[in-house]
Structure 1
Amino acid sequence: MRWTLPNILTVFRLIAAPALGLVFLVLPHPYADWVVLILFITASLTDYIDGYLARKWQQVSKFGAMLDPIADKAMVVIALAVLLGLLGGMVWLMIPVVAILFREVFVSGLREYLGHTAGTLQVTPLAKWKTTVQMVAISMLFAWGLFEHFFGMQTFGMDGEIVAAVLAGEIADDFGLIWKYYGLLLASWGGLALLWVAAALTLVTGADYFLKALPYLREE
């Protein structure tokens, strides 16, 4: 193994995955929310930087090719587990999370069974888009916790009457209440909507991999 910058970035992303959960054991809110959000976004960006640098500098290696998808899956799976612990088991979160986790386990099992023929399950452009949407959605959902713990705003139970009263001058705007209100709505409902899109892409790519693997699963 060569310790090139692309490989170092990939290892950093792998280490950052379990760190997401450990941060909440060490730090209180809202500091944990800040650290996790910054850590996840930074680690997500390395997913594209390491591959770009490896190709540009001709530093593509077997170690990096092996570790890169593992780091991606570890980031997504552990982040989703942390979100379930933070936001609870509400149905709008649980369903897409279960779909994503099922697909990841299913495809990993396919690749393990196929062994040397697993090259037939190469990452597709749609699968890369799936990973991108997953990471954006998870970042927004971590921001949801930040809004609630740092700004003291609750998603459920709030309505547009508060914003309307501020706009009408009936209630004083407390440090950008409008901005925080719509930011909270975007982080919560926008993050959930993107997670459902990611779950749909996850199932589509999982079905695609299964169809590609079928010829190798038929009995002689």
Structure 2
Amino acid sequence: MTWNLPNILTVLRLLAAPGVAIMFLYFARPWADWFALILFVVAATTDWIDGYLARAWNQQTKFGAMLDPIADKAMVVIALLVICGFSGMDPWILLPASLIMFRETFVSGLREFLGDTAGTLAVTRLAKWKTAAQMTAIAVLFSTGAFETYFAMSTEGMDGAMIGAIFAGDEPDLQGIVWKWFGGFYSWWIGIILLWAAMILTVVTGYDYFRKSLPYLREAA
């Protein structure tokens, strides 16, 4: 095990994965949403930084190559579980999240089974785009949770008529509920579109890995 800077960043990213969920245990919303978002974005950024440093400084190691995809998958899976939870198991989120988690588990199992021949499942450019789409979608959806919480807090005690009057401009928007609603609306749709795009890339790359592994899965004649 080599403790160079790229590997240290990878380990920190792995430790940050459960930290995203822990934010919701120790902080009230919307602070939990913002802290989880910040932690997730910082950790996701290290995914690019550690890879760049490892190549630039010629510090690529077996330990880093093994741990890097594990850290990425842990971050994505745990974050998706949290988002599914605070979205109330919204089917627009639950379906792509389930397929993404299934694929990540399936490919991890393939790599473990193939052992020394797992090099045939080397990370492709499309797989890197998949990871980027997943992490971007998750970050946007964390902001959606914050906007929705702000909107709920600001409209507490208001009836539908009052809220409608504020949106129509007949009453002053002292609580800023209009921009909070639009923030939640647009971030939700952007996050959903990115999440479904990530799901498509996830399924395509998962099938590609499975196809490449087929020669090693056939029984000997």
TM-score using structure 2 length? 0.89
Q: Which residue of 2 aligns with 1:148?
A: 148
Q: Which residue of 2 aligns with 1:165?
A: 168
2:184 is the counterpart of 1:181:
no
Shift of 1:18: 0.7
SS at match of 1:37: helix
Structure 1 vs Structure 2: percent identity of aligned residues? 58
Shift of 1:54: 1.2
Between the two proteins, the alignment pairs up a number of residues equal to 213
TM-score using structure 1 length? 0.89
Q: Which moved more, 1:21-30 or 1:39-48?
A: 21-30
Q: Which residue of 2 aligns with 1:121?
A: 121
Query: What 5-or-longer segments of structure 2 have no aligned partner?
Result: 155-159
2:49 is the counterpart of 1:49:
yes
Q: Which residue of 1 aligns with 2:77?
A: 77
Give deviations 1:149-195, integer Å, cap 9, x for gaps: 234379xxx9xx778624xxx34244655543332112112111211
Q: Which residue of 2 aligns with 1:112?
A: 112
Report the residue type matching 1:71 in the other structure: A
Q: 1:137 & 1:77 partners in 2: Cα distance?
A: 13
Query: What 5-or-longer segments of structure 1 have no aligned partner?
Result: none
Report the residue type matching 1:137 in the other structure: A
Q: 1:153 to 1:92 in 2, by over 3 A?
A: farther
- 8 Å CA contact retained: 2:36, 2:142: yes
Q: 1:88 & 1:176 partners in 2: Cα distance?
A: 25
Shift of 1:32: 1.1
- 8 Å CA contact retained: 1:33, 1:145: yes
Give deviations 1:41-73, integer Å, cap 9, x for gaps: 111111101101111122111111111000000
Q: Which moved more, 1:14-23 or 1:57-66?
A: 57-66
Shift of 1:95: 0.7
Q: Which residue of 2 aligns with 1:12?
A: 12
SS at match of 2:2: coil
Q: 2:4 & 2:92 partners in 1: Cα distance?
A: 41
Give deviations 1:72-112, integer Å, cap 9, x for gaps: 00000111111111112121111101110111111111111
Q: Which residue of 2 aligns with 1:211?
A: 211
Q: 2:45 & 2:217 partners in 1: Cα distance?
A: 36
- 8 Å CA contact retained: 1:10, 1:47: yes
Q: Which moved more, 1:112-121 or 1:56-65?
A: 56-65
